[in-house]
A and B are shown apart, each in its own frame.
Chain A
């Protein structure tokens, strides 16, 4: 049905129509993908600033946050730049909520799901374009409601991103009124957005694969998005219902979760984590898919164990429904359940292990190209390994008695979500950018961004394992209030300094992104880009030397440290400036149709892909997605539309 209408569209090269129908209420999956990308990137700035504010408070408790001193002393949240305890709780809550629901999900699922599924399976668009558009605008509505919460009396939600009842459901316990209700309402709305997206992805994938695109010729990133959509379809309604129940408790005085009136607080936790654990796989599966896509391309080699990868993802899809209790080992639920949940949790670690070994197998015997997307994919693998292994500690219900609710947990989920999902996200953006925007982001700037992000990511989050082992609780406002934590304060300072560096490290990415999208390649702009990137690195170098000389707790460096710091800073800045001067390509130049010599169908489509994606006839698939370096073939790649020597057809599915 949609096939015929789509065909009619396919004959035109450009979407005709006005500004509104092209850029705003577009039905085209590629435009909707870009809209999701913008939504996610903008919210990432908000989430990042919140993180820096509460990191500041943790390192230098109850001092004025730099850059916020101008705030009036009548402000409830940050009078004259001092963070109040309630504001701190709000910042932690909203940082996590925004990063999970308005950054990682919109970009990994909304943007990549929309962009890649139709293009990679040879479809002209999603099955339900109107539903697709609705899904985006409902997400925007959710984002607006979420943002509105910052401006209401009493402040935004401050009961953690997990919103444990009854703290979250009885306003008097936090002093937060509208904020928490808007938080729940926004999640309720966002769950509908995800639901619409999921239905669309699943239908498209089942019904609209082009001729020859059998299930086992579907690229792994599409498989991952398919499994993600199934999880989304089943998990998001639970979040939506829990959110609705929270609203009922807060507004209509029902008492689902309020023990003072006969409710059950653990019911919230069960609902939240029954959604929550599938949710963490919603966050990571597309990242795993992206890594599985990039590794073969840049190893010039078929993915190792394609079917094992698919089965592992399907296993995860089933198992993620029976592990939620590992978040509740110490919650007061019947401890006998803890044993069952530990068992299932370790079972779900196995598919993750299988995937890791297959990624290593893909590297083995490859011909590896260290492009920016590949660097991100490699970082993904090793950081995911660290995150998975810290999961083993917590999966042990006994060890979890001690490390539950400490920074060890914070370290764990940042390794999997930032180290995993966000690195994949950056790698994916760089990799598909040419198809998405018709021009390629710069590799030299990308490398500067990658290395800075990789180094400071680890400097921020690795030491959190140590804090956690030392007993440092999560979500505390001032660690100096505890004697047993005071000795570890230098680690907190180091983490915050590194977090500031991590924030600054995103500047080369911002320059790269905007310059490429808007074709800013004037001489002065290039010099500015180089100078700013060099300054960032120089500044970080200066601070690092000062800290090395003086330790973490000394605010004013001595003259000697200053001189040494300045020398290092100048050397680093000159190095980066000259590196970029020499290696930066023209920013925003048109990208070739298939810049990475990749096989999958999105690269068969013209660049930029027109409305309808593929011209008058749809591509026909004749080989698997990862047939690189096939013996007897001249080139080390060929589009999926080429026939393959029957000898290899079976092996390559």
Chain B
């Protein structure tokens, strides 16, 4: 199953993949255990002439065991998850390298880059449709906004997904680790154009990123 995961290209995504594997091994082991026991019982205890079923109403020791053991395992799982969750959702980076604002609007991602003043909403902002340019190995902080309905900003290879809610600004951050082009589908049904609402993230090498910035603002000022 894991080989179906697309390649992960973000540092934050590793946390998610790790817990995915934990869930995977945990559930596969439990499934095999249950399935084998069930198959064994079904074969062994099929009706045979002259053999009566056991008369038993249960067993309290077993009930306690199969309540306490899963509780313990799941508790460990909860604790393991929460440190990652806090990292991914609560520890908003104070000094991100790159800041971008993305607005979901039927059926586009509108990407706003601050100019050299590093502030949004000033004249030197650059606005592009469906194109997110970021440098490699730098943490990116995106402020997600919604203009109409709920969308969901999704970059499969970074494992990141966040609903975009009109009326709120929701932070999302990640650190891409590989140069390339990646799709940014919308993952929440948002109307007839939902399918095909798809942006592009271009992860540049550091040098290319500087070049891109120069060129983009030069074109803008024309």
Write the residues of chain A forming the contact surface with B, with a CB cutoff of 8 angstroms: 84-86, 88-89, 158-160, 164, 166-167, 170, 173-175, 259-260, 264-266, 299-308, 330-332, 335-336, 338-339, 342-343, 346-347, 349-350, 353-354, 356-358, 360-361, 363-370, 378, 381-382, 385-386, 389-390, 392-393, 396-399, 401-402, 404-406, 465-466, 469-471, 473, 475-478, 481-484, 488, 628-631, 636, 648, 651-652
Contacts and interface: CB of A to CB of B under 8 A. Distances in A.
Interface string B38-63: 10011001111001111111110011
A360 B41 contact: yes
Contacts of A390: 27
B74 interface: yes
A170 to B, nearest CB: 8
Listed residue (A366, A483, A629) with the most chain B CB atoms within 10 angstroms of its CB: A366
A466 B1 contact: yes
A265 B165 contact: yes
A382 B38 CA distance: 8
B57 A330 contact: no
A-B pairs, 6 with minimum CB distance: A365-B54, A259-B167, A477-B195, A471-B156, A335-B89, A305-B58
B19 A399 contact: yes
Nearest to B43: A368
Contact of B70 (A84, A350, A361, A368): A350
A265 B149 CA distance: 9
B19 A396 contact: yes
A174 B81 CA distance: 38
Nearest to A651: B57
Nearest to B52: A629
B190 A339 contact: no
Contacts of A89: 189, 191-192, 194
Contact of A473 (B6, B19, B71, B154): B154
Interface of B: 1-2, 4-6, 13, 15-16, 19-20, 23-24, 26-27, 30-31, 34-35, 37-38, 41-42, 45-48, 51-59, 62-63, 66-67, 70-71, 74-75, 77-78, 81-82, 84-86, 88-90, 106, 146, 148-150, 152, 154, 156-157, 159-168, 170, 182-183, 185-196, 198
B165 A367 contact: no
Contacts of A332: 162-165, 168, 170
A471 B54 contact: no
Contact of A85 (B45, B85, B183, B193): B193
Contacts of A393: 20, 23-24, 27
Listed residue (B84, B85, B186) with the most chain A CB atoms within 10 angstroms of its CB: B85
A354 B146 CA distance: 43
A636 B52 contact: yes
25 contacts: A166-B150, A167-B190, A173-B191, A175-B192, A301-B56, A304-B57, A305-B59, A332-B163, A332-B164, A335-B90, A338-B89, A346-B74, A347-B71, A361-B59, A364-B41, A365-B53, A367-B48, A382-B34, A396-B77, A398-B81, A469-B1, A469-B4, A473-B185, A484-B182, A629-B55
B182 to A, nearest CB: 8
A339 B51 CA distance: 51
A385 B56 CA distance: 24
Contacts of B4: 466, 469-470, 488
A468 B48 CA distance: 44
B196 A265 contact: no
Contacts of A484: 6, 156-157, 182-183
Nearest to A467: B4
Given A398-B88, A404-B161, A366 B81 contact: no
A164 B163 CA distance: 12
Given A366-B41, A368-B42, 11 more contacts: A160-B189, A259-B146, A301-B56, A302-B55, A331-B163, A346-B78, A357-B62, A382-B34, A389-B31, A398-B15, A398-B81
B62 to A, nearest CB: 7
B160 to A, nearest CB: 7
Listed residue (B52, B82, B193) with the most chain A CB atoms within 10 angstroms of its CB: B52
Contact of A343 (B57, B78, B167, B168): B78
Contacts of A385: 31, 34-35
A158 B52 CA distance: 56
Nearest to A309: B58
Nearest to A299: B53
A164 B150 CA distance: 8
A364 B156 contact: no
Nearest to A158: B192
Contacts of A346: 74-75, 77-78
A84 B192 CA distance: 9
A244 to B, nearest CB: 21
B198 A308 contact: no
A353 B57 contact: no
B62 A361 contact: yes
A398 B53 CA distance: 46
Contact of A167 (B26, B48, B150): B150
Contacts of B188: 164, 405
Contacts of A335: 85, 89-90
A636 B167 contact: no
